[in-house]
Structure 1
């Protein structure tokens, strides 16, 4: 007797396994994700093996001591390794769709498969959006107002206030650049500093990128670059909005520099087609980074650019994305959902006496640049 079996790839477990692999591989930030301290987005799945609502990341600054030589005594000359911690809470997230069996009967497409594909796309976009919100966050609160969702899609925070932005700038003055010059910082007044950004002198340029790189290396403590597995070189990664990327791509200095970059960088994991590279910084265009309208000189729009080093963001996972199916109304309606227990946040460390005092962005240096719309 012939038996009917589910088509390969349609059972829940098979679909979930394939989906998670594709979710990681196709994510815009996939190349920057990793489980060790060298990753820009450090992934931690400790809570998949134990109960709890938060994951603690260890933030360890690089050693700067001179060491000893020629028979010198190490004992008593050890260096105090400055380490801090960052606690990230996970959230239960999910989304679903439901269809009636009559709709399945008359539809020209398989609604079940379409629903799963739609939910897969939604989850990938949701992960991307949470990463972008985390990059823009001010001490855990969103920089921008979101009408429904908050910093991690659950808590309804208002946009960060000017007082909160000023307090963040005070703590991160060595990690923020307004336009092309450090002197554009007006006494750590965030809105006043933005007003110094003009449409002519403060677009994103190779010179501004080199300045941000120097600031990252001179910050206290330094923002640690990522060491490439392939070449052994150190890199920073910068995420930029479309208009900033346009200005940089059209800069004559950058145009000349890119002629040999693709061949040189094609084996680098961090470098993808369409990326730019300048002075050890890989620049990536991210479509959904939000423009800040009218806050610059003469009402010019401004957009942030995020130069990231190791442990810029944390991604804590208690339960990987997975699907579930359910019947309703005497099995006349079928629902399909996708869900995750996880949290994404910008890594912060306390620069004061305690881990939570005077928080600094651990691995992110934020630049603000003029973002003039296309004519």
Structure 2
């Protein structure tokens, strides 16, 4: 009697959990992911244990009342608990590779394990690109497909958390395209001063953008910068001086100094991380220069919702000659937007992001 045996390396229980952990851990954004409200990228997996296609992220604003003192009566003078919500829709994502017995016979490498590696890289890139697209998005619409009217309406609601170059006044009456056209390649390169201004915009925005807490009394913002803006910031005299003169002179200082390693930069309570895959906006700046977005972020900037964690799939056909191995997950990634109008979703603002447009002229 013939028996069917599991193919080595393809049984789901052998690599599902490992695959998921590797792919999430290797993501460029992994260190900023977490399940609590102090995370820049907040993860929720509510739907892994119940049906549905949306996961709700909640936000409770700070209390604004004065309370009472002395013998004043508290009853009737209670503060309003202003809570807001946003639903993130999830969708299936799938991919697979197929290997034939003949290809595997001819190959000097294990094609099935190579397929697993390729699928992990694909999943990582989908997560990365989805996160970047969410940062760029206009009220849930991809930036590349948003209309000028949608961009202008978004800017009107988010004027206190969008910065065009080095000056707040570069915002031309909430006209998105006209404001981009005010960015030039002299004054509006990403600089230390611009980062400090963006940080103040985050702190003074209403509602304010909350920094993340790395320790009990240590608060930080993070900026995800495109490569060309990161290049300009690295050359800013104030940044060069800070890295040369103010960084710790611990053992191995050369290997830790971003002047030599190209690693993360720090300025005024902001950690600046280069994300090479952040795309540019060609021809939209002054004189037709290229502009790029950078994202100064605090807590709850992005929401990632999982209805199904990544799992493996297999497909053996053609009498066992062709073996397919795949992955699938059901998730959604969106920039978190909470209303600040009378209704829960009125006048949506990006909760944890200051979008900073800066000159991004290509290398000569």
Q: Same fold (TM over 0.5)?
A: yes
User: In the alignment, which residue of structure 2 is the partner of 1:252?
Assistant: 237
Please show how residues 174-193 of structure 1 align to structure 2 within 5 Å: 174-193=160-179
Pairwise CA distance, 1:358: 2.2
The counterpart of 1:342, out of the listed 331, 336, 339, is 331
User: In the alignment, which residue of structure 1 is the partner of 2:130?
Assistant: 130
Pairwise CA distance, 1:228: 1.2
- Say yes or no: does 1:226 pair with 2:212: yes
Please show how residues 6-45 of structure 1 align to structure 2 within 5 Å: 11-45=11-45
Pairwise CA distance, 1:64: 4.1
Q: Deviations over 1:232-275 (max 9, x none)?
A: 311111111000001111111012223445779xxxxxx99811
The counterpart of 1:243, out of the listed 181, 203, 228, is 228
Pairwise CA distance, 1:24: 2.3
Query: For residues 7 and 332 of structure 1, what CA distance do their matches in structure 2 show?
Result: 12
Please say if residues 198 and 296 of structure 1, whose CA atoms lie closer than 8 Å, have aligned partners that are also in contact.
yes
Change (3 A) 1:338 1:136: same
The counterpart of 2:349, out of the listed 338, 356, 360, is 360
Change (3 A) 1:16 1:232: farther
Please say if residues 347 and 362 of structure 1, whose CA atoms lie closer than 8 Å, have aligned partners that are also in contact.
yes
Query: For residues 55 and 47 of structure 2, what CA distance do their matches in structure 1 show?
Result: 7
Change (3 A) 1:261 1:11: farther
Query: For residues 82 and 273 of structure 1, what CA distance do their matches in structure 2 show?
Result: 43
Number of residue-to-residue matches in the alignment: 351
Q: Deviations over 1:72-92 (max 9, x none)?
A: 654444321221000001101
Please say if residues 84 and 345 of structure 2, whose CA atoms lie closer than 8 Å, have aligned partners that are also in contact.
no
Please show how residues 67-78 of structure 1 align to structure 2 within 5 Å: 67-68=67-68, 74-78=74-78
Please show how residues 161-180 of structure 1 align to structure 2 within 5 Å: 161-180=147-166
Please show how residues 164-313 of structure 1 align to structure 2 within 5 Å: 164-229=150-215, 232-259=217-244, 260-261=246-247, 274-313=263-302
Stretch moving more, 111-120 or 66-75? 66-75
User: In the alignment, which residue of structure 2 is the partner of 1:58?
Assistant: 58
Stretch moving more, 84-93 or 6-15? 6-15
Query: For residues 302 and 92 of structure 1, what CA distance do their matches in structure 2 show?
Result: 33
Change (3 A) 1:344 1:262: farther
User: In the alignment, which residue of structure 2 is the partner of 1:267?
Assistant: none
Please say if residues 85 and 345 of structure 2, whose CA atoms lie closer than 8 Å, have aligned partners that are also in contact.
no
Please, what is the CA RMSD of the aligned residues? Answer: 2.3
Please say if residues 27 and 128 of structure 1, whose CA atoms lie closer than 8 Å, have aligned partners that are also in contact.
yes
Change (3 A) 1:8 1:275: farther
User: In the alignment, which residue of structure 2 is the partner of 1:152?
Assistant: none
Please say if residues 261 and 277 of structure 1, whose CA atoms lie closer than 8 Å, have aligned partners that are also in contact.
no
Change (3 A) 1:101 1:244: same
Change (3 A) 1:72 1:353: closer
Query: For residues 329 and 247 of structure 2, what CA distance do their matches in structure 1 show?
Result: 38
Pairwise CA distance, 1:38: 0.7
Please say if residues 210 and 279 of structure 1, whose CA atoms lie closer than 8 Å, have aligned partners that are also in contact.
yes
Query: For residues 10 and 71 of structure 1, what CA distance do their matches in structure 2 show?
Result: 72
Q: Deviations over 1:285-333 (max 9, x none)?
A: 0011011001000111000011111111100001111211110111110
Stretch moving more, 174-183 or 17-26? 17-26
Q: Deviations over 1:85-105 (max 9, x none)?
A: 000011011111112211111
Pairwise CA distance, 1:121: 0.7
Look up the SS of the partner of 1:211 in the other structure: helix
Please say if residues 223 and 363 of structure 1, whose CA atoms lie closer than 8 Å, have aligned partners that are also in contact.
yes
Query: For residues 7 and 47 of structure 2, what CA distance do their matches in structure 1 show?
Result: 33
What's the TM-score once normalised by structure 2's chain length? 0.91
